């Protein structure tokens, strides 16, 4: 280091400075000099987003409200409806004990209980409307009978037909006349219920081809298709056939004859299809009637109102002349070459609570004697026949007691559906058969339910009582009882009376009964359902209240 020269005069001054400054320099030298803070990079400061400052929350301090315990509302106890001031106990007069009517009460005239749908014909029968063996495969314009045997067959073609079939059935029922309906297969397929109505009323059914063509391309198909629908609807074929227009040369008649059907034409034709006038139709039938004759008329194919209008006069006029009306199968059975036979009881489709015997009548003919009468009995529940000792699947004929007046004792019959047939035999062995006749043994009362009114229910008003009923054989009627407790009166359908009364409901399976205007008070209601042998079911009394201030009641 290079030496510096200090003048003597400055040395004391310099010494003082050094001594005074040394501690400060020492401290200063010992403390490190802080590094300068680097200047931040000149990144521009982002402009604050213009987010509005939150509004200042002003907390309002106030005395808390008391807990919001609401004052309890008064319990919604509705003001009680005025109780139907307990009227005197007023126990309704009980219905009389259901004393059954005499056994074998028939169905109402002309309204027999319909047989079950497609009821099968008994096994072993040729058809549902059998014809004598001598008539099978034969052609008939009429049947040869003695002049004193004034029987005649009314026949109706081209149905079933809406309106006119029903109207003709009604007229026949009114006069108790049985007839024969030659039905077109396609019509029967469309209106099977109309067909069954004719069958169930005891009329005979004949085949009138499938489509009623005068010149069919397929004669066999025309006959067979009609047979098939007849089998389907009635449970069996028919032994009688009529060709459309009476045409015997277009093939269908030959088919029917080959199938051993009796081909039925006619010997009396009023041409009612041409609507010549009611009086003309009457005159033509009455003037053309003969014993054993067959009358052609129509219930289908067009306007048959003149036929309907003429029918009552035709029936009453011929009856006054001594004629008796029969079906075509019955007419064929009257052929003078065979004995005749008929069943008196059971009635066709009648219901019985019990039936002890089948009975009827028979007679020889001018060409045949009467040797014996046989009876057949068929049970539908298991398709068996009674052979005199037991039920068997083998077709069995039992010898009846008597001939001209005959009867056959039946076994004890359980509830169900049965059919019976009779046969009259000559000494040569030839026989004449009746058609199978169906009947019912009904031991069970109908089921019954009341939908409205409901027991122990209050209604603001009630105009109609409703319910249901059912029976295996059929419900004959539903009747109801309405009792007013305030004065112990009964409604008889017209007015209130102190005498026990019932009045009819409308309908059967689904029935209803119109009630009179009912004032506030308590009532009792009962319904009863009765079948055709008067087995009866009672619903029991149901008490209900009418209060005009009451809410509506759902009745489903």
Residues noted as catalytic: 157, 298
Strands of 353-444, DSSP E: 357-363, 372-379, 384-386, 391-392, 398-399, 405-409, 416-425, 431-433, 437-441
Retrieve residue 404's tokens.
């001209």
**Contact predicate 316/175, CB 8 Å:** yes
How far, CA to CA in Å, does 434 sit from each of 332, 409, 506? 10, 18, 38
The residues facing 188 across adjacent strands are none
The residues facing 361 across adjacent strands are 342, 405
**Contact predicate 525/544, CB 8 Å:** yes
Could you give the 3-state DSSP secondary structure of residue 24? Answer: helix
Q: How far apart are CA 275 and CA 15, in angstroms?
A: 170
The tokens 């314009």 sit on which residue?
Answer: 141
List, as one string, the DSSP characters of 96-155: PP-PPPSSSPPPPTT-PPPPPTTPPPPTT-S-SB---GGGTT-EESS----TT--EEEEE
> Where does 124-272 have alpha helices with state H?
164-175, 185-190, 192-200, 219-234, 252-258
167 phi and psi angles, rounded to 5 deg: -65, -40
The β-bridge relationship of strands 416-425 and 324-325 is: unpaired
Q: What DSSP state is assigned to residue 9?
A: G
Number of H helices, E strands in the chain: 9, 30
Retrieve residue 443's tokens.
């031991």
Q: How far apart are CA 299 and CA 319, in angstroms?
A: 21
């Amino acid at each position: 280091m290079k030496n510096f020269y200090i003048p003597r005069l400055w040395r004391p001054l310099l010494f003082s400075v050094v001594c005074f400054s040394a501690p400060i320099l020492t401290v200063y030298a010992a403390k490190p000099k802080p590094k300068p803070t680097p200047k931040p990079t000149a990144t521009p400061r982002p402009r604050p987003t213009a987010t509005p400052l939150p509004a200042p929350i002003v907390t309002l301090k106030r005395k808390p409200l008391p807990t919001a315990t609401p004052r309890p509302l008064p319990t919604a106890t509705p003001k009680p409806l005025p109780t139907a001031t307990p009227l005197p106990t007023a126990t309704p007069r009980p219905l009389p004990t259901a004393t059954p009517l005499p056994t074998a009460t028939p169905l109402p005239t002309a309204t027999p209980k319909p047989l079950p749908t497609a009821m099968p014909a008994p096994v072993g029968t040729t058809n549902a409307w059998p014809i004598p063996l001598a008539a099978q495969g034969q052609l008939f314009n009429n049947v040869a009978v003695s002049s004193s045997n004034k029987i005649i067959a009314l026949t109706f073609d081209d149905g079933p037909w809406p309106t006119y079939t029903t109207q003709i059935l009604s007229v026949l029922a009114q006069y108790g006349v049985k007839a024969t309906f030659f039905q077109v297969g396609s019509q029967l397929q469309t209106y099977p219920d109309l067909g069954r109505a004719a069958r169930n009323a005891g009329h005979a059914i004949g085949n009138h081809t499938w489509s009623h063509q005068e010149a069919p391309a397929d004669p066999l198909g025309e006959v067979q298709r009609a047979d098939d629908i007849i089998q389907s609807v009635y449970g069996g074929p028919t032994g009688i056939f009529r060709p459309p227009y009476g045409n015997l040369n277009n093939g269908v008649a030959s088919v029917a004859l080959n199938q051993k059907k009796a081909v039925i034409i006619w010997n009396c034709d009023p041409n009612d299809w041409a609507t010549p006038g009611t009086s003309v139709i009457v005159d033509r039938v009455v003037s053309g009637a003969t014993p054993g004759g067959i009358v052609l008329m129509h219930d289908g194919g067009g306007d048959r109102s003149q036929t309907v209008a003429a029918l009552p006069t035709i029936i009453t006029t011929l009856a006054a002349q001594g004629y008796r009306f029969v079906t075509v199968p019955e007419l064929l059975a009257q052929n003078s070459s065979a004995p005749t036979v008929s069943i008196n009881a059971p009635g066709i489709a009648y219901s019985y609570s019990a039936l002890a015997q089948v009975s009827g009548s028979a007679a020889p003919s001018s060409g045949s004697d009467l040797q014996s009468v046989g009876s057949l009995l068929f049970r539908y529940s298991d398709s068996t026949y009674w052979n005199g000792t037991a039920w068997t699947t083998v077709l069995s004929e039992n010898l009846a007691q008597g001939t001209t007046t005959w009867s056959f004792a039946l076994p004890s019959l359980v509830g169900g559906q049965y059919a019976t047939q009779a046969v009259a035999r000559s000494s040569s062995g030839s026989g004449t058969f009746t058609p199978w006749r169906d009947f019912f043994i009904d031991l069970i009362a109908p089921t019954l339910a009341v939908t409205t009114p409901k027991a122990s229910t209050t209604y603001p008003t009630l105009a109609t009582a409703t319910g249901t009923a059912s029976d295996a054989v059929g419900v004959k009627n539903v009747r109801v009882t309405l009792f007013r407790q305030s004065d112990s009166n009964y409604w008889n359908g017209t007015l209130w009376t102190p005498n026990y009364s019932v009045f009819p409901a409308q309908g059967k399976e689904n029935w209803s009964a119109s009630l009179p205007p009912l004032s506030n008070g308590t009532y009792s209601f009962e319904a009863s359902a009765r079948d055709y042998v008067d087995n009866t079911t009672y619903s029991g009394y149901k008490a209900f209240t009418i209060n005009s201030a009451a809410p509506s009641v759902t009745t489903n």
